[in-house]
A and B are shown apart, each in its own frame.
Chain A
Amino acid sequence: MNVDAPSRTSSATTRGGFRPSRRQALLGWIYATPTAVFVVALFLVPLLLVIKMSLSRWPLLSGDQGPNAPDNFTKAIDHRFFTDSVVFTIKYTVIATVLLLLLGLGMALLVQESSRWNNLLRASFLVPSALGLASASLLFYVLYSPYASPFAPVMESLGITFLGSPNAALFSTVFLIVWRYAGFYMVLMLVGLQSIPADVFEAARSDGATRWQTFRSITLPLLRPTLALTTVLCVTGSLLAFEQFYILTKGGPDNSTITVVQLIYMIAFQGQNDLGVAAALSVIVLAALVLINALQLRAFRSEEN
């Protein structure tokens, strides 16, 4: 810090009455105005608009608009991919969340101690999370191709392809996501582990607890807030999956990997071009996410008591 702050003013005098509160309020609003403009114009207005759109006829290219509730919602639910995409998205979310949290915690425990080797490991686990999801997906698109992949000869001799069958496509995508995000969850777990006081572990050791006992009855319970947070993050992120499937599988094979967000995109911009129905599906996703987050937070809180 290269500023010499004179120490003669005490905060008591300034806080007491140096700055009149009206001036304070005015200045506060001046500094907060850009935030307010962005929040209103690009968040609140679109939020209200998506609800209005979901209740109106709204073709992509200009056409007649007008209320048609609840047609958009019934059309969205009746869409031939609706049920499949919901089921697939939930399936993907469960698999990705379980794997990411287990691996994130496992990796954090592996490299928990600070040493030069562990710092190197942490960095190499974390590098993939510097990449964008789209870049990572493109990278794996090549890595999974039958032509350019270094694994192609092995896969060919085994008679399988990375993206050829619905299950292979799902797990190949999950692997990409684990590669991209495991380091991120490792960092969150590491910080959670660091917040556990060292004396607790020492007490357990002097009581003769085994490593497994210590992990089960000390580490896991004290890590609960971190686990709650990471679960919510992971579930929310996975339910909104788009790029990884849009780039890697394009929804295939046989439309088996279409996620809900991908369906919104398809309805709005490919084929149907019906923004009203896409908005209705957006509103459904939004409501579901808010509900799921509230339920998750509540579940974790009540377990704590």
Chain B
Amino acid sequence: MTVDSSPTSAAVAGSPRRPPRMPSGPGRQRGLTIAGVAFRTPYWVFTGAVAVVFLFPLVWTAVASVSPQAGTNQVTGWGFGNYATLADYQAGIWRYLANSAFVSLLTVALTLLISFLGGYAFARFRFPGRNLLFLLTLAILMVPYATLLIPLYVLLNEVGLQNSLVGVALVLTMFQLPFSTFLMRISFEAVPRELDEAAMVDGCSSFSALWRVLVPAVKPGLITVGLFAFLAAWNDFMAPLILINDSERMTLPLAVSNLRGQVQGVVDYGATEAGVVVLALPCIVLFLLLQRHYVRGFMSGALKG
């Protein structure tokens, strides 16, 4: 796989590339000699402590969310009371989960389709306006989200898509385009032209060559684009906060954040913890499954800037 073996793809998950060697330091001690262990123990203790700082908030929240003493710092016994409160909250958690799933899946589908076709066009065809359109797509990065939400609110209102989950998905897709189009363009450029041209010579139409030959070839790029589109949509807070005002149509992050301070001074900490777990679980599962694609995404995300 040409795309897969790019140097950036393996930075975290066990790099096949030779890591730069420092002149001295803990890393140079190989094998468990007594001197080596003595030398490395402080390093293990220190880095392990840092890792605990990073993992503690997640672990504690997961444990506290199944503790019956909601709103206290006593984590004893266990039960699903917090989840029950969350499930009964306002329109019900299933409603909010369905809203979030709908926005996320629509955003993923649109982002994949548009950036796949766009990346193909930018990588393989010369057409008038090609460079201008690509630059404009990247320029979306220069104009941050937050500064365009006011006019987007007015525009979507104008076309009847305000207070609509489809409107939210359209906005989220637009903001995914610089990253996804850029990544798909690189993915296509890494596939030799001979591959699809040969298929076309053999009688495939350009579209079926695209579908049968290029989709498998750029699959890693598509997975990364889909992963980041899903995470962006699942976790987005600002677009639904501004575009949605019907509590039936809130997405999950919005619903969970409303648990604090709906009634003056009353915060259901336990249900908030349960909500955080529900929000974080898909993200962490995807992280564990697709670590390599995470790093690729971070890299292309950084390159584009």
Contacts and interface: CB of A to CB of B under 8 A. Distances in A.
A294 B237 CA distance: 29
Interface string B247-263: 00000010011001100
A239 B152 CA distance: 21
Contacts of B257: 134, 138, 247
Contact of A133 (B24, B142, B235): B235
B77 interface: no
Interface residues of A, number: 123
A158 interface: no
Interface stretch (A79-87, A142-150, A163-171): A142-150
Contact of A39 (B17, B140, B194): B140
B91 to A, nearest CB: 19
Given A119-B14, A135-B235, A191-B11, A32 B144 contact: no
Contacts of B140: 39, 43
B272 interface: yes
A31 B206 CA distance: 11
Interface in B283-305: 283-284, 286-287, 291, 294-295, 298-299, 302, 305
Interface in B242-285: 242, 253, 256-257, 260-261, 267, 269-270, 272-273, 275-276, 279-280, 283-284
Interface string B90-101: 000000000000
B44 interface: yes
Given A29-B127, A142-B61, A47 B51 contact: no
A100 interface: no
A112 interface: yes
B27 A233 contact: no
A4 to B, nearest CB: 10
Interface string A188-215: 1011011111100110110001110010
A44 B142 CA distance: 12
Interface residues of B, number: 122
Contact of B242 (A142, A193, A197, A265): A265
A122 B256 CA distance: 30
A183 interface: yes
A162 B78 CA distance: 27
B20 A196 contact: yes
Interface in B115-130: 115, 117-118, 120-122, 124-130
B276 A38 contact: no
Contacts of A299: none
B60 A45 contact: no
Given A43-B143, A138-B276, A150-B60, A114 B283 contact: no
Nearest to A184: B298
A220 interface: no
A42 B202 contact: no
Given A50-B151, A143-B57, A9 B197 contact: yes
Nearest to B27: A113
B114 A35 contact: yes
B268 to A, nearest CB: 10
Contact of B174 (A42, A131, A142, A283): A42
Nearest to B53: A179
B165 interface: no
A127 B18 contact: no
B269 A240 contact: no
| Residue of A5, A29, A46, A188 contacting most chain B CB atoms (<10 Å) | A46
Given A49-B155, A149-B73, A194-B11, A38 B177 contact: yes
Contacts of B24: 205, 211
B283 A131 contact: yes
Nearest to B215: A3
A114 B126 contact: no
Contacts of B86: none
B119 to A, nearest CB: 9
A194 B150 CA distance: 42
B181 interface: yes
Contact of A25 (B126, B279, B280): B126
Given A46-B155, A148-B273, A289-B147, 5 more contacts: A24-B125, A32-B118, A36-B133, A188-B298, A191-B299
18 contacts: A3-B199, A43-B174, A47-B148, A114-B15, A115-B27, A117-B44, A120-B51, A127-B54, A130-B283, A132-B283, A135-B276, A138-B256, A143-B60, A145-B267, A187-B11, A190-B12, A194-B19, A211-B25
